[in-house]
Structure 1
């Protein structure tokens, strides 16, 4: 019989890490939800003060492309928990998981069309099929596949950088991007039909990026989470202190160096952006791993923060979608239509404020409910029966 105290601590740590990741994702995403220029890869021309640029630099260097990798890692980790749970309960895993992925796909499509074209749920739905096909591979093979995919993606960006160096326009000009941003701002500040049409237009423009670049990057992070789950590393963190310490040293040296190169390429124009992307693909996972290792090592010493983050982590799917809804009400014609009218520092403050509200709301909701509202719906689709919502479980398995 497993030690329930160890199991509870492990689940609490994973949920707290998921809540921490959710905050990072919101701080990154809010810039893209608030501005057509950021979606076009440009700085908002109305905000050019030193504090504006400092905020862009800090968010790009320390947060961009790190926290969605953490979330993806946790998706892969939770996959192993779901497999183990199905085995213990004697339930057929494949049809349940396929229904779960179908639910994620439907939620993701609705999210992308109505709220945010940068949706990640549709990517998880597709990547989940790959995890399902690879579920019997060894942890070592999973890690090797993740490394191989990351290397191939980096080589792809190096090829794009080489083509750009030869004078081929692989990303569009700055003036073209500014024109796109102005067009996007006008649509996002308009009525509902214009907002939806703009989201559909953006989706058509980024589909290649999703299929050939983001999808494999997400799968690589999921495979690392899959390997960690298979090995049971998070069941006893103290037994892996040396490994966590090595991740911190490697991640905070190589990872931060790569993040600096990426930030330089994104904002200074001192090197082609594709070269920065190639460097970031290799180093961002290391920095994300360092964040996770540091958080997990500090968690026993900051129990109050851990408890605060556990509740939003337990209902991360509901909170992720709610973040986009609240930002849409602030920045688009759904509500206040403040698109490109809010400076980067204020955006960060709004993001933190939204997350604090979600912390309180999540704790309030989970006092009387076993699952978050969207988690309940996804569980219904997964098991094809109505889940109990009133039973309060102290040892519930975290959802992806």
Structure 2
């Protein structure tokens, strides 16, 4: 394994002139592989369980589920998605730089690539029925990030704290709106319980709160209804998944753009600074590890303990919202996850530079090179295990048991991905995406 790049012989399509394999940067593929496998840790509960955050074990320190959730929250929640978005941003530069250095415009080719990714995301969400699809968002937001690719790194990196603060303010305003409706509802409910006839305005308050509950705060009965649908036929599962996916991809798209855009811009900045291409010294990476974990871990542990105490279930959460107009602890989230994510990356860099865990690194590199295929494979495997039209295991497993399957999928992909790439230039979906981007059948079998 080379220190920085794995060079493949370039095969050139004389019409569109894409290289079949450019000089890949091994460490970026490795980081992408880490992010791809890490995302499954956070995704699998949504494949397998109902609204599990309301479970009794969230405050039970004697329960294995509690500690598995604690580890996930501290080390992975938010960090893997941030890492994947950051690497995606770096990928924008990797895709366009060689073409632009040769004096060719990469704009239409890149936008065509993103349009197809958006279409794949729609298929993923509405045909394969994964409610947590990110391909659609990456396709749409990638088109925006492309516009910032030539900006100076220091300005690109400023996007993260700016978006974090704006996000906190926006989320606070959103929660205050919910809080105001809830407080009005409580007053109306008191009158209703006393047998007093409600005015049309008061009726509308009840209806408004009922809609908020249905969308954001499902009760036990609704959770049971959701579980029944997820354990049903394909049309029944689709009837639950598709409306939520549609809302996420269209109704709430404006709220999803900024975080991913800021992280993609951070990825472009870190690529330009050489952080993602092993151009920093070992001392600099060690310093990043120490600062990242030194700041991030105390913050995330404090936030986890605070949320465990004050938000163990829906009832406690509503009580807290009623008593507190602003949840200042939520301001911690973006800063701790970026600090820990940077520390994770720097730690991988140090391990790679030292030449440790060579087989694992080779496996991660292959997983990252086939990230699109492996990501969709997560959905295919998990949906067929948990959904009603598969093995119908939805809501049948303990939270901690889900990670037996996660480890199994990890092992499978770490073994199979390098074997596949011995015989083929790309993963099957990467090859299809490339053919669609260049509007021509691309080489596939490795010679």
- Aligned equivalent of 1:293: 346
Alignment partners' CA distance in 1, 2:302 and 2:346: 23
SS at match of 1:194: helix
Q: CA deviation at 1:156?
A: 2.3
SS at match of 2:426: coil
- Aligned equivalent of 2:284: 243
Q: Does the 8 Å CA contact 1:27/1:352 hold for their aligned counterparts?
A: no
Choose which of 43, 52, 60 in structure 1 pairs with 2:55.
43
Alignment partners' CA distance in 1, 2:275 and 2:67: 37
Alignment partners' CA distance in 2, 1:46 and 1:233: 37
SS at match of 2:446: coil
Q: CA deviation at 1:199?
A: 1.0
RMSD: 2.8
Tell whether 2:108 aligns with 1:83: no
Alignment partners' CA distance in 1, 2:58 and 2:263: 36
Please list every run of 5 or more consecutive structure 1 residues that lacks an aligned counterpart in the other structure: 393-400
Matches within 5 A, 1:1-400: 6-8=4-6, 11-38=25-52, 41-43=53-55, 50-88=63-101, 90-113=103-126, 114-160=128-174, 168=182, 172=213, 176-207=218-249, 210-237=252-279, 239-264=280-305, 266-269=307-310, 275-299=328-352, 300-391=355-446
Q: Does the 8 Å CA contact 1:188/1:332 hold for their aligned counterparts?
A: yes
Alignment partners' CA distance in 2, 1:319 and 1:201: 26
SS at match of 2:265: helix
Give the TM-score normalised by structure 1: 0.87
Q: Sort the Cα spacing of 1:47 and 1:151 in 2 relative to 1 into closer, same or farther, 3 A.
A: closer
SS at match of 2:5: helix
Q: CA deviation at 1:92?
A: 2.6
Alignment partners' CA distance in 2, 1:58 and 1:342: 19
SS at match of 2:25: helix
Q: Sort the Cα spacing of 1:177 and 1:255 in 2 relative to 1 into closer, same or farther, 3 A.
A: farther
SS at match of 1:72: helix
Alignment partners' CA distance in 2, 1:90 and 1:145: 29
Q: CA deviation at 1:275?
A: 4.7
Q: CA deviation at 1:346?
A: 1.1
Q: Does the 8 Å CA contact 1:78/1:229 hold for their aligned counterparts?
A: no
SS at match of 1:118: coil
Alignment partners' CA distance in 2, 1:209 and 1:286: 31
Q: Does the 8 Å CA contact 2:227/2:394 hold for their aligned counterparts?
A: yes
Please list every run of 5 or more consecutive structure 2 residues that lacks an aligned counterpart in the other structure: 8-23, 184-208, 312-316, 322-326
- Paired residue total: 386
Alignment partners' CA distance in 1, 2:150 and 2:439: 25
SS at match of 2:400: helix
Alignment partners' CA distance in 2, 1:368 and 1:85: 26
Alignment partners' CA distance in 2, 1:379 and 1:243: 37
Q: Does the 8 Å CA contact 1:42/1:178 hold for their aligned counterparts?
A: no
Farther off after superposition, 368-377 or 139-148: 139-148
SS at match of 1:380: helix
Alignment partners' CA distance in 2, 1:286 and 1:390: 41
Give the TM-score normalised by structure 2: 0.79
Q: CA deviation at 1:381?
A: 1.7
Q: Does the 8 Å CA contact 1:105/1:125 hold for their aligned counterparts?
A: yes
